[in-house]
Amino acid sequence: MLKSVAAIPPSLAGATATWDGLVRATLRHAADTPEWLAKASALAPHSPALLAAKGLIFMLLGRRELAQEAAGLAAEARVALSEMPSRHDGLMVCALESWVAGRPSRSAKIFDLVQREFPGDAFAAKMAQAIRFLYGDAAGMRRSAELAVANFGDDHPHAGYIHGCFAFACEEVGDLALAERVGARALELAPDDAWALHAVAHVHEMRGHPEKGRAWLAPRQSAFAHCSTFRHHVWWHYALFELELGAYDSVLALYDTEVRRESTDDYRDIANAVSLLARLEADGVDVGERWEELACLAEQRMNDGCIPFADLHYLLALLAAGRDSAADQLIARMASGADGSEFGAVAAGCGAVAGGGLAAMRRGKHDEAFQGLIAARHALTKIGGSHAQRDVFERLTIDAALRAGRCDQARTLVQERAQRRGAYDSFSMKRLGQCGPTTVTPPAAGAASF
């Protein structure tokens, strides 16, 4: 007999197996998530909780047309709630309404409340993580994940995936040893937990252990083969390990066959590709015409204005392909902060400032580039993404300092980066070499700190 059970919103009581399938697909980042959503919608078309869940899934995709559809779903869910009221359903509807209204932080807090009042709700636990990830609240992710883990015994059907969320949150706050242990435990409970697998990959990336990272991912491809776009991201991590080892031909091959296997305009796929090409170019590698495909897609999505992390990656693609007019329009749109949302405020603040620095760098104005990038640096966690993903901007800031002849500042930035991560990697050592004679003091073991 199970001691831990999944919490089901009352409006889905007649579709529990299908709801469980949708929740599990969401936790697994599975390619068949849309199919489960369609099945659930057919069985419970007027469920307030399901309408809210659909809207939340749409919001996570960072596309303007889907955000508009999510607003319609929120209104529909509110009407449906009046017909079948319940506290559980109502909180989920409020969470969607909050995000649609431009307050994702309130949405995340509501999902924490769901976890307290309805322990065992894995969808709420995952949403609390996913939304905070979009605005870089690692400490909040850790607190929320700890709350979730306390409610999920090993006999809970979704326990492994919740441990995977906890593992990633631990990594993002710098507790690498715990992240590695919890990630391994998550995979014991749920061997197909790609999120846990990638959490441990993050640990190896932060420690500067590319061989261990490759050895971790290579035999576990079955843990992410079932994923939708997320499998491209796991391959991106594998490519980062190859990059760290200087295996540039391998990196380019992985780019073409895995990272950019499909020409999608999903912002997460574009971000993977953009940041990998930027790293390659920074190492002096000719990436050929690969920027052009990304720039075409970025120009089509540049007015979405949903997620600042996406905006800055679109901008990098436009600048690299020489689409200066579109790049300037994107920076101007970000700076306007026109929608009054939390993400709009981030875009108008550190996002636009960093964007100006990136544009100056591509145009050879290196001191201006450094001034912009360094001004945005400490606030850039707010654009969302992981430390590994945002590291491309840290690298570009260091390179801007070097190109501007600010060697002392570049040296300080390299050393601060290594201290935060807990290790000097090949990028750090190469840039220190360009700074002139430097005494390298390795960070204390396990010293990653954010």
d(CA 11, CA 8): 8
Rounded distance between C-alpha atoms, residue 266 and residue 227, angstroms: 14
How would you classify residue 322: left for phi > 0, otherwise alpha for psi between -120 and 50, otherwise beta? left
Q: Which pTM value belongs to this model?
A: 0.96
Going by the DSSP 8-state scheme, the letter that residue 3 receives in this structure is S
Which ranges constitute the DSSP H helices of 193-303?
194-207, 210-217, 230-244, 248-254, 267-282, 290-301
CA dist., res. 160 & res. 192, Å (int): 9
> What is the residue-level pLDDT of the chain in tens, covering all 450 positions?
234 567 899 999 999 999 999 999 999 999 999 999 999 999 999 999 999 999 999 999 999 999 999 999 999 999 999 999 999 999 999 999 999 999 999 999 999 999 999 999 999 999 999 999 999 999 999 999 999 999 999 999 999 999 999 999 999 999 999 999 999 999 999 999 999 999 999 999 999 999 999 999 999 999 999 999 999 999 999 999 999 999 999 999 999 999 999 999 999 999 999 999 999 999 999 999 999 999 999 999 999 999 999 999 999 999 999 999 999 999 999 999 878 999 999 999 999 999 999 999 999 999 999 999 999 999 999 999 999 999 999 999 999 999 999 999 999 999 999 999 988 999 999 999 999 876 666 676 555 655
Buried b (16+ CB within 10 A) or exposed e, 183-200: bbbbbebbebbbbbbbbb
153 touches 4 (CB < 8 A):
yes
The token duo for 204 is 């190896």
Sign of CA dihedral 6, 10, 11, 12: positive
Q: Exposed (0-12), middle (13-18) or buried (19+): which is 287, by Cβ within 10 Å?
A: middle
Q: Give the DSSP letter string of 4-33.
A: S-----GGGGGGHHHHHHHHHHHHHTBTTH
Cα distances (angstroms) measured from residue 235 to each of 8, 65, 195, 395 = 34, 28, 13, 21
**CA-CA distance, 168 to 175, in Å (whole number)?**
10
Question: Would you give the DSSP letter of residue 443?
Answer: P
